[in-house]
Structure 1
Amino acid sequence: MEVNRALGSGWYAHGMSLYTQEIKDAAKRLYLRHHTPKEIAAIVNVPLRTVYDWRTKGQWDDLLSTESVEEAMGRRLALLSERDEKTKLELTEMNSLVESLVKLRHSRMLMEGKGEPGEGSEGNKRKGASGGKRKRGRKKNDVTGIQEDDFKVKMHKYYFRYQMELREARHHRFRMLLKSRQIGATWYFAQEAFEDAVLTGRNQIFLSATRAQAEVFRRYIVGIARQHFDIELSGNPIILHTEKGPAELHFLSNNSKSAQSHTGNVYIDEFFWIQKFNELYKVASGMASQKRWRKTVFSTPSAVTHEAYDLWTGDRYNKRFKKKRVEFPGFKEMQSGILCPDNAWRKIITLDDAEAGGCDLFDRKDLELEYSPSEFANLFGCQFVDDTFGVFRFADLEECATDVSQWKDMDPSALRPFGNCPVWGGYDPSRHRDDASFVIVAPPLKPGGTFRVIKRFKWVNKSFTWQAAEIKKLCAMYNFTYMGIDVTGPGMGVFDTVKTFYPQATPIHYSVGSKTRMVLKAQEIITSNRLEWDAQETTIAHAFLTIRQTYTPNGQVTYSANRTDTTGHADVAWSIMHALINEPISHDQAQGACVEVL
């Protein structure tokens, strides 16, 4: 217990139990009564990550009784109502729950033919007489009332032209789409899959790099059902009751152990950013091997060294049939959508194609200002990055992408999302462009451990005083023990202001020597698989890929990413390196323990 007092009352050592079974049982009972982990941690006075550990190891989720959405919301409202001196957040949550419950009960009464809430029996009789048969005992996730024409009226007529082209090609058993960012591909394929499930009763399987990305499909489908058909879908997987029988909608990450046990139409999102793609692709092909199933893969491009690149170019097909080598269609042909020799229908949709197809959601001038020409070509022009000449290899960067849902010590909704654990900051200023980058990196708790990029900010067209004010807010939320700020040019204004409230801020002066040390340090960490970031932040890998080895006029080796007075590049990569450089090249030094403060 002396150790406990020395480190603080909230200290917790993994592998050692400092809590009695009585405390664990109390926490479990609270969870089964639908208290949140954060609330439980405060009530039983244990660290939040400890509650998460107990929940996972004890499989508490499996013990929760099956409830409808309405029942769960009612239980939560009752729990909050019992509390004295409610916080502002709790009052806001209660108001939201009441509003949602009223809407749910209103919708349920209408579906059951009971008329508007408050109507008497006469009102119900009138409804029954004029409105046809009353619906009784409606099943969960019942979509039997939705017909093909409903989709035409409520969905299809709002498609952009390129989305209609994707729909017209849905009969192909294998489709490959290379696309610009944020043109609505994920939304479209979620709708397409939902429509197919409703009308045919076929299963739909969604695979993504992380669980969070797979959940994007689910949110879209739930939203489509609610917004356009006034149906609340629940469950994971979602089991639809259709006129053709039950249809299962599965939302899986690429590390899902149960993925290969399913069959159905398969959709793989951002496949050019998935680690060990070939392994996943083999599983996906098995799930859709019967002729009635379809397989669709779509993504923004990454690097030419990605495992999926030869599948896209047709080289994989030609390697199998060397004696019958055939030429695959080129870029322009694929922009129109074309069936290729390997029986895969391929299509490319650039930002230009999207705008020509009616998409007016982008401001090209802003994008061209925000991104360098090579970034723009990759993100919006469907051009692959050739990393064979880069300082960082895509295969190594690919290993950095991770599913952040596994970070149990993070609570984004908390006032201090990372508790009192130490973090490092890295800031890269705008030059003559309008964006700057700031990252928060969690250093390893042990020498040689893993760094994590837990937050990334991109500030566009903001003054240095505004940016410094944002950093000050972050200092109130996180325990910064180091912050590296590039003081080149406009970075000096940010640095001088930050020093007034965070005196430990460290200036970084760019020179041949300092850039070399930062790149070498980043190489050491990345090649050792000691850096992680959110797999959904694909632009981080791209930023590292653009860094090249160059030479100064007098012949010295240096590193750059095509920075000039008018274009910045790799901002987020440099900001991460500004944080990582705090660890010496030889990292055999203790980083300090994390102390949880409740």
Structure 2
Amino acid sequence: MATYSDEIKTAAKLMWLRRVSAREIAEQLNLNSVRVVYQWAEKGHWEDMLQHETVEQATTRRLIALVEKPNKTKEDFTEIDRLGNLLDKLAGIDLKKARTAKEKAVASRGERGESKGKKKKPKNDISEITAEQLEEIRKELFYGYQHRWHDHKSERTRFILKSRQIGATYYFAWEAFEDAIITGDNQIFLSASRSQAEVFKAYILLFASKYFDIELKGADFIQLSNGAELRFVSTNGRTAQSYHGHLYIDEVFWIPDFENLNKLASAMASQKKWRKTYFSTPSVKSHGAYPLWSGEKYNENRKNKVEFDLTRETLKTGQKGKDRIWRNIVTVKDAEEQGCTLFNIEELKDEYSDSEFNNLFMCAFMEAGLSVFKLDDLLSCSIDTNVTWVDFKKREVRPYGNLPVWIGYDPSRSGDGAAVVVIAPPLKSGGKFRVLEKIVMRNRAWQWQANRIKELTEKYNTQFIGIDCTGPGTGVYEMVKAFFPRVTPITYGINTKTNLVLKAQDVIESGRVEWDAEHTDLPQAFLQIHQVTTGNDQITYAANRTSTTGHADVAWALMHALSNEPLNRYQRKTTVALAS
């Protein structure tokens, strides 16, 4: 067996972390076998280093790279098809329906016959796609609630409150793709971060490739042969206001500074021909988007107030209000009733607390007053890291170079996940913390979890690890101590919890921590934490945790990492009562 230098192995690892295939790595590095790459990946646990990405994000990135790759091989097309099927599944699309739609599209192309002329086609040529083909695929592919969204596509403004994972992003990517082809109108996708906006892009590339054998190309935007532009921008995009088109804004209830965002949206879609579509899972009623959803914005300066019926029963089939906004609520139960059979609702109820299930799947707003954290403060910590963190290169073997990091770990209870959070401490006094990476581990043994933490210590210059040793965390602590003797045990008690929460409040309220805006689970987790009273009237903090249920895991893990900075509670103002 050939011997390879450390430089070759490092190059292979970097390519692997960019989702380059093992075959491509072997070819480009002139290795004698693809098997060598897999052996290195298995031995070095390369795949686990990508766990901070969601499956959808990793699939999206790899799919875009393949579709935009020149001179594709047969294997590339096979992988594109496989990744496309995975994205269908992640979007809540029945693969049988997708295959049927594809077969009909292929048959339709065959009936038309292929053009035999040798004239070079224009870039992103969609001239042979017909409205009839698009309609046939749409009718085959989507569920009842998505067809209802299409029936109301002409509404000037739509606002949809939805369950998690019912295929909203997937559908609206299709709707915009279809509309751009038929009308030539521009389409704009606005998300909290660029990587989330590119999920729309991946879906559109997939539609063109899977159903029409067309390879769409374009970095910052895609321009179709009929002149329509498809743009994918983040809320941090300063030039976005210069664009014009039909606008789609996802997860609006988790976007910070909604008032300014809406001004930006209005500028992009101010002409009467342009439409706006807002869709999101709910957060809390204090969010800036709630007055628009509830009609309060419309009533703001009106002498004669208008009643808006926001009940599920009324909005289940959609209703246009006096403010000309068409509203719709789609819970997971509504989705199931309208053809979506991809959920086991009883299992979801077992996996989540009542409040979490109602928020994530039944479109219920969380009670903001119960939390010791404010949503506006939490959303102010959300940024587009691709734009602002120039010194953090997450695709590299050492993403943060040799700069120091702190790690926090929160253990799993039966039925929930353990969480690990990696933060970069401020490099100067009063600076900002940054959440570089987070991993949620479900149904994994303690040794496996400890190994993931060990890999993080090899990936980063780790200076501190804080582990909750109350109950099930003890096993992971002992294993981590073997390779990181300086690990700090955190034993929960009233004073410990108070210090953790006060420290987090101090950091969050003062704007001293940042995380990527696509990580909406972080503000969701912090909102779960509320004040409770013990049997002897002492104040402490909880997140509906029991011996069988653990919640707000990523929030506690982040607090464990933050605990390495001393708490000076005498120089801060807080609305949280201290334990007496």
TM-score interval, smaller chain: 0.7 to 0.9
Contact 2:308 2:321 in 1 (8 A): no
Structure 1 match to 2:180: 197
Matches within 5 A, 1:205-354: 205-235=188-218, 236-242=220-226, 246-354=227-335
Inter-partner Cα distance in structure 1 for 2:341 and 2:281: 19
Distance in 1 of aligned mates of 2:448 and 2:300: 55
Post-superposition shift, 1:470? 2.1
The one-letter code sitting in structure 2 at the alignment partner of 1:478 is Y
Structure 2: how far apart are the matches of 1:103 and 1:313? 51
CA separation of 1:84 and 1:336: change in aligned 2, threshold 3 A: closer
Q: Is the Cα–Cα contact under 8 Å of residues 432 and 567 in structure 1 kept in the other structure?
A: yes
Identity %: 47
8 A contact 2:196–2:518 mirrored in 1: yes
Report the alpha carbon displacement of residue 293 of structure 1 after superposing the two structures with TM.
1.7
Structure 2 counterpart of 1:584: 566
Deviation sequence 1:215-269 (CA, Å, 0-9, x none): 1111111111111111111122211112xxx111111111222222222111111
Assess, with a 3 A threshold, how the Cα gap between structure 1 residues 482 and 324 changes in structure 2: closer, same or farther: closer
How much does 1:103 deviate? 8.3
Residue equivalent to 1:562: 544
Aligned to 2:72: 100
- 1:370 maps to 351
- The question of whether the paired residues in 2 share the 8 Å contact of 1:546 and 1:561 is answered with yes
Contact 2:257–2:380 under 8 Å retained in 1? no
Superposition pairs of residues 140-539 of structure 1, within 5 angstroms: 140-235=123-218, 236-242=220-226, 246-405=227-386, 406-539=388-521
For residue 18 of structure 1, what is the aligned residue in structure 2? Answer: none
The whole-number CA distance in structure 1 between the counterparts of 2:257 and 2:419 is 30
CA deviation string 1:453-498 (max 9, x = no partner): 1111111122222212222222222222111111111111111111
- The root-mean-square deviation of aligned C-alpha atoms, in Å, is 3.0
* 1:125-171 deviation line (CA, Å, top 9, x unaligned): xxxxx966414120001111100111133333111111111111112
Give the Cα–Cα distance (whole angstroms) in 2 for the partners of residues 287 and 467 of structure 1. 46
What amino acid maps onto 1:351 in structure 2?
Answer: V
One-letter code aligned to 1:266: L
Distance change (3 Å), C-alpha of 1:81 and 1:545: closer
Compared with structure 1, are the counterparts of its residues 477 and 81 closer, same or farther at alpha carbon in structure 2 (3 Å cutoff)? closer
Measure, in 1, the Cα distance between the counterparts of 2:394 and 2:237.
Answer: 24
* Structure 2 gaps, min length 5: 1-9, 15-19, 42-61, 78-112, 571-580
1 CA distance for matches of 2:526 and 2:29?
Answer: 52
State the one-letter code of the partner of 2:222: I
Whether the 8 Å contact between 2:468 and 2:490 is mirrored in structure 1 is yes
The match for 2:84 is none
Task: Look up the SS of the partner of 1:193 in the other structure.
Answer: helix
The letter for the 1-side match of 2:232 is F
1:571 aligned to which of 537, 553, 559:
553
Q: Distance in 2 between the 1:312 and 1:167 partners?
A: 20
SS of equivalent residue, structure 1 residue 320: coil
CA displacement 1:373-398 (0-9 Å, x = unmatched)? 21221111111112123211111101
2:115 and 2:32 mapped to 1: Cα distance? Answer: 50
Tell me the CA shift for residue 402 of structure 1: 1.2
Contact 1:180 1:381 (8 Å CA) reproduced: yes
Distance 1:363 1:498, change over 3 A: farther
Cα offset, 1:299, TM superposition: 0.8
CA deviation after TM superposition for structure 1 residue 102, in Å: 6.4
Instruction: Please identify the structure whose Cα radius of gyration is greater.
Output: 1
**Distance verdict in 2 for CA 1:89–1:238, change over 3 Å:** farther
State the alpha-carbon separation in 1 of the partners of residues 569 and 119 from structure 2. 68
User: Structure 1, residues 521-540: CA drift from partner, whole Å, max 9, x if none?
Assistant: 11111111011112111111
Of the structure 1 ranges 194-203 and 131-140, higher mean CA displacement relative to structure 2 is found in 131-140
Amino acid at match of 1:222: L
SS of aligned partner of 2:128: coil
Separation of aligned partners in 1, 2:478 and 2:557: 18
1:136 partnered with 2:119: yes
Alpha-carbon deviation of 1:174?
0.8
CA distance in 1, matches of 2:289, 2:432: 28
Structure-1 residue corresponding to 2:51: none
Q: Is the 8 A contact 2:502 2:569 kept in 1?
A: no
CA distance in 2, matches of 1:375, 1:462: 22
| Distance (Å, rounded) in 1 between the aligned partners of 2:178 and 2:114 | 27
Alpha-carbon shift at residue 193 of structure 1 (Å): 0.4
- CA–CA separation in structure 1 for the residues paired with 2:183 and 2:514: 41
Q: Normalised by the size of structure 2, how large is the TM-score?
A: 0.78
Q: Provide runs of 4+ in structure 1 moved above 4 Å.
A: 80-93, 96-99, 101-105
Name the CA distance, whole Å, in 2 between partners of 1:355 and 1:82. Answer: 49
The answer to whether the 8 A contact 1:436-1:571 is kept is yes
In structure 1, distance between residues paired with 2:472 and 2:391: 35
Which residue in the other structure is 2:576 paired with? none
Worse-superposed segment, 287-296 or 168-177: 287-296
Do the aligned partners of 1:369 and 1:434 also contact (CA within 8 Å) in 2?
Answer: no
C-alpha distance in 2 between matches for 1:509 and 1:386: 29
